[in-house]
Amino acid sequence: MPKTLEGQITMEKTPSYFVTNEAPKRIHSMAKDTKLIVVVRNPVTRAISDYTQTLSKKPDIPTFEVLAFKNRTLGLIDASWSAIRIGIYALHLENWLQYFPLSQILFVSGERLIIDPAGEMAKVQDFLGLKRLVTEKHFYFNKTKGFPCLKKPEDGSPPRCLGKSKGRTHPKIDPDVIHRLRKFYKPFNVMFYQMTGQDFQWEQEGSDK
Ligand SMILES: Nc1ncnc2c1ncn2[C@@H]1O[C@H](COP(=O)(O)OS(=O)(=O)O)[C@@H](OP(=O)(O)O)[C@H]1O
């Protein structure tokens, strides 16, 4: 970590911290006033996205449908597969709440981040006690990329989209498998909404498209 000067905040991004058992205790013992930001998306889409990322590096892995089940005939989901386990957000959050109050954690909706990046960034800036400097004018929707991209109107620098590995097309997954995964996640999602006081609406039709 670089030294943080007066008036500065230091930020660090490691997605795996959220699901690492030892992380809350370690971060708390380092700085208990640390603010935490977690971007969460529909766990079904998250699992497919995770698989898509692995597949791009290891094209020979079994299909998503095969990996998702311990026993497909019995409909038994393999919750030990990391792509699935990571999406059990309530389980991971419970671990963090042993060390940090909810007020120190901001949950950003991954879906809203795509639909309304400026709106989600306003929440992030408020949470960090920053002036709302990043606003609507810093985003535009890039039709080729299919996602919002960033521009800096102040200095005239070229717009910037996230890299090729973000926003890839997902493979088509058997609808029955999607259905079973939705059912699997539902109680954990409901628990997560209760714990956070936020309804992410992942049960709505089409939210995992
Ligand atoms: N603006 C913008 N541009 C591109 N992609 C965007 C954007 N906003 C959110 N997303 C979604 O971010 C997903 C990739 O993030 P990751 O969590 O995999 O990133 S990281 O590996 O943790 O760095 C990525 O998931 P995939 O679509 O599965 O690739 C995107 O859906």
Q: Please provide the distance, in angstroms rounded to a whole number, between the alpha carbons at the two ends of the chain.
A: 38
Q: What is the DSSP letter of 203?
A: T
Q: What is the pLDDT of residue 2?
A: 82
Looking at every residue in the chain, the average pLDDT score rounds to 95
pTM for the whole thing?
Answer: 0.94
> Which of the residue ranges 92-101, 131-140, 142-151, 154-163 would you say has the lowest mean pLDDT?
154-163
Please tell me if the CB atom of residue 114 comes closer than 6 angstroms to any atom of ligand 1.
yes
Protein residue whose Cα sits closest to atom 15 of ligand 1: 166
Q: CB of 52 within 8 A of CB of 170?
A: yes
From the CA of 49, give the closest atom in ligand 1: 28
Q: What is the pLDDT of residue 23?
A: 98
Please tell me if the CB atom of residue 160 comes closer than 6 angstroms to any atom of ligand 1.
no
Strand order of the sheet with strand 139-142?
Answer: 139-142, 147-152, 157-160
| Ligand 1 mutation target, pool 20, 165, 166, 169, most atoms within 8 A of CB | 166
CB neighbours (10 Å) of residue 159? 13
Angle between helices 175-196 and 43-57 (to 10 degrees): 120
Q: How far apart are CA 121 and CA 132, in angstroms?
A: 8
Sorted by sequence, the CB contacts under 8 Å of residue 47 that are 6+ apart come out as 64, 68, 83, 84, 86, 87, 181
Q: What is the DSSP letter of 6?
A: T
Q: Checking DSSP bridges between strand 147-152 and strand 76-77, what pairing results, if any?
A: unpaired
Say whether domain 17-130+175-196 belongs to CATH 3.40.50.300.
yes
Judged against a pLDDT cut of 90, whether residue 204 lies above it is answered with: no
Please tell me if the CB atom of residue 15 comes closer than 6 angstroms to any atom of ligand 1.
yes
- The band of 107, judged by pLDDT with boundaries at 50, 70 and 90, is very high
